[in-house]
Amino acid sequence: MRRFSVAVLVAAALGTVLTAAPAEAQADCTATACHFDVPPGSYDVKVLLGGDSASSTSISGETRRALLPETTAPAGERVARSFTVDVRTPEGEPTGAEGTPGLDLVLGGTAPALADIKVTPARHARQIFLVGDSTVCDQPGDPYSGWGQQLPQFLRKGLSVANYADSGESTVSYLADARLWATVQPRIRPGDLVLIQLAHNDKTTDEATYRANLETLVAGVRTKGGEPVLVTPIVRRWFNSDGTLDNNTALLVNGLGVDHPAVVRSVAAARDVPLIDLTARTKALVESLGVEASKALYLYNEKRDNTHTSVHGATVYAGLVRDELVARHLVPRGQVRVG
């Protein structure tokens, strides 16, 4: 693996302009990572990739968030890329460990090469808040990954993903925990998007309560001037003998007979809320792949887990979310990365 120059990183990091901070930002860099001593907020990151040899570099940050997809640069050439990143405490799941203060960036890829880096406060970033469960959240360790953890790599500078999804949460618990909805709502600004996918853990929630909770979340977003987006849950990989997905377990109909995706669709229609039907999109994909090929989307091989996604699966599902954001005119096409 190619190792980029630490001296270049340190010089660039120490020269970073961070007017939002009380003093000049400090950075500690190694050959594969860099830590910026900055307060919570949204930051624009501009990188110059490439070196004397052909290179291929990806960038992740904070709690295993994918921030820049693998990008190639021919030998002797430089490629500039920019993205916006959310820095907060805790840096991963809201009810998890606080993590390291500041901004941590890590280089990956088959032949990483970083020629320069600059981090500045994002003055006009639009935030995309994520309200969800373990299938969405910033998972702390391999082999798990939520689709929200992979979404930032599909977005360009000016869009910041603030992932407040949390493992094990239902609509009931998300509203009740002060670290979750009571923390998210005050941070919503006019024009921000708030994507809401909660269903996997509403196993004992009756339909009236589930519907009312979704409506509470929608109303709370609109009160702050944000735009709510309801997202039906990703399917569980649970097949019938004929190769179709099971209508109950896979499609999230709970023990009380509550059809979660149907309720989400109904609330979206009744409250005039944009809908991303991720249940329909993931169902079509999983069934098209079939019993064997679909295992790679989930953690079946690693954990016999048909609910939680692998890094590959989370990335594929994040791509579906990106496509839906563009198709529903929630995000301009020019602000997403394609391919």
pLDDT-derived band at 30 (thresholds 50, 70, 90) equals confident
From residue 77, give the alpha-carbon distance in Å to each of 34, 113, 297.
22, 11, 35
Q: Give the per-residue pLDDT at 27.
A: 64
**Could you please report the per-residue DSSP string of 72-112?**
EE-TT--EEEEEEEEE-SSSSSTTS----SSEEEEEEEEE-
For residue 197, give every residue at least 6 positions away whose Cβ sits within 8 Å of its Cβ, in sequence order, or none: 130, 131, 132, 133, 135, 136, 165, 231, 232, 233, 234, 278
Return the domain boundaries, the chain: 8-121, 126-335
pLDDT tens-digit series, residues 208-259: 999 999 999 999 999 999 999 999 999 999 999 999 999 999 999 999 999 9
Cα(36)–Cα(139) distance, integer angstroms: 22
Taken in order 333, 315, 109, 43, the sign of the CA dihedral is positive
Task: Assign a CATH topology to domain 126-335.
Answer: Rossmann fold (3.40.50)
pLDDT tens-digit series, residues 153-170: 999 999 999 999 999 999
Class of domain 8-121: mainly beta
Q: What percent of the chain has pLDDT over 70?
A: 92
> Is 45's pLDDT higher than 60?
yes
pLDDT tens-digit series, residues 255-296: 999 999 999 999 999 999 999 999 999 999 999 999 999 999
Tokens of 128: 């995309």
- Average pLDDT in the 321-338 region? 97
Q: Is 126-335 the same fold as 8-121?
A: no
Cα(96)–Cα(39) distance, integer angstroms: 19
Cα(312)–Cα(299) distance, integer angstroms: 10
Cis peptide before 274 (omega within 30 of 0): no
pLDDT-derived band at 29 (thresholds 50, 70, 90) equals confident
Q: Give the per-residue pLDDT at 17.
A: 34
pTM: 0.92
